[in-house]
Amino acid sequence: MPNVRVATLNLFNRMGDWERRLPLVVEQLDALAPDVIGLQEVDLGIDQGMEISRAVNKRLGERPHYRIKHATSPGVRASIFSIGTLAKPECVEHEMLDLMTFDRIAQRMVYEVDGTRFALVNTHLHHPPEATEERAEQAEYLLAWLDRHESLPTVVLGDFNAYAGDPSERTLEVMKSRFRSAYETVHGREPEQTWPTPVNTYDNSPPGTLDYIFVSSVFTVKDAGLAFDTPSSDGPDLFPSDHIGLFADLEW
């Protein structure tokens, strides 16, 4: 049966001393070795996604290399709020979706692994904690878009900005009506926290879990956990990002 390791990480664009964070991202990406990773808050102004791709591919040597597909926010924050997906498997389809509100977007890729195909969607939903209904509407719009595509094993991942355990957060109800959370499937609950790390010194929003990997029922979730959660040896406050990432090992 084909299997794949997927991951997600909000990069926090160039903020939080990016030059010092970059080696941590590359080192921990190489160690995690996902087949596909969705990145959010990719800064196109500094070609951040390509910078990561080149650096990790240099470490990989003769091993299979990553290629990146970008999707650009349609608004004034296009440079810092773009998304990108790094992948080793062959990408046979790539589409972008404007979520039509708050300059948010999604991208859908189809990858081929061992002669079979699966779809992966990378997205980043609206931010303010109180915007629960706006996020839920974006999630519904996203699912309606996916309904227009060929039925394939599907992964939807990213920064949903939806707090786990918040009874007013309908976004998770929308997503879990169609998909399972990979982390919850393995551990029986969502992580305690994926945001923030000490890298973010200005946002006083409540800490909590905002990042998820959702998978369709055809997948067996072999493992799932946190990623990009190790601080620098130079100091306990320097992390790869202000978010902690997630990974999931899937078989179908």
The predicted structure's pLDDT at residue 146: 98
Sequence-ordered list of residues with C-beta below 8 angstroms from that of 41, at least 6 positions apart, any chain: 10, 11, 12, 13, 80, 81, 82, 83, 124, 159
How many folded domains does the chain comprise? 1
The predicted structure's pLDDT at residue 84: 98
Domain holding 143, by residue range, is: 3-251
Tokens of 54: 């080149």
pLDDT tens figures, 36-53: 999 999 999 999 999 999
The predicted structure's pLDDT at residue 78: 83
The model's pTM is 0.98
pLDDT tens figures, 148-178: 999 999 999 999 999 999 999 999 999 999 9
The predicted structure's pLDDT at residue 7: 99
The predicted structure's pLDDT at residue 46: 95
Residues of the chain with pLDDT under 70: none
Q: Which CATH number covers residue 163?
A: 3.60.10.10
H or E element at residue 52: helix 48-60
The predicted structure's pLDDT at residue 79: 82
